[in-house]
Amino acid sequence: MGRKSKQLRNFTTEQVEALFESDSNYLTGVKILAIIQLCKGYSSRKLSEFYGVSFKQICNRADRFDAEGIQGLRLKPGRGRHSFLTESQTLELNTPSHAQCVASHHERNLSGFLLEKLQNRDLMVNLPKIEPKFYLDPMKVLD
């Protein structure tokens, strides 16, 4: 019987993979390692099995490296599918309801404060006073 393989105590496999995938420098390093092995005579098909990519990706990366150097292997911005939404629409969709609730609460209270300052200077006196409200976020009450 063989020895038991080393196990990590503080990280799961998924956490280590996520750390690895989050740093583009590591990804570039892995691409370079594949190219080194390709130069040493390993077949692109064997390397594709080992690295979990298609053999065509191995060949494309080697061609890009040959043409552009290490810059050809780095991730380039603007890749992937582009959104049909504008930036403001995206932010509107991605703003959590708690954040919207807190923001509107602060906006209301600040509007009342500013209106009071203006009315003290005899401006906008015909507008009704905005009373401050102190209430709990309905999303927090449900938790």
- The one-digit pLDDT tens for each residue of the chain (143 residues) are 567 766 667 777 787 777 667 667 778 888 888 888 888 888 889 998 998 899 899 999 889 888 888 888 887 777 777 777 777 777 666 666 666 777 787 888 888 888 888 888 888 888 888 887 776 665 565 55
Q: Which residue range forms the structural domain that includes residue 109?
A: 87-142
Place of tokens 């500013």: 114
Q: Clarify whether residues 108 and 65 are in a common domain.
A: no
Q: How does DSSP classify residue 135?
A: -
Q: How many Å apart are CA 89 and CA 75, to the nearest integer?
A: 27
Q: Clarify whether residues 57 and 101 are in a common domain.
A: no
Residue 52 lies in a domain: yes
Q: What is the pTM of this model?
A: 0.46
Residue 64 lies in a domain: yes
Neighbour count for residue 114 (Cβ, 10 Å) = 12
Written as one string, the DSSP assignment of 66-122 is HHHGGGGTS--TT-SPPPSS-HHHHHHHHS-HHHHHHHHHHHHHHHHHHHHHHHHTT
Residue 112 lies in a domain: yes
Residue 82 lies in a domain: no
Residue 130 lies in a domain: yes
The torsion of the CA quartet 34, 40, 41, 44, rounded to 10 degrees, works out to 10
| Structural domain count of the chain | 2
Q: Clarify whether residues 21 and 55 are in a common domain.
A: yes
Q: Clarify whether residues 104 and 53 are in a common domain.
A: no
Chain centroid to CA 115: 40
Residue 7 lies in a domain: no
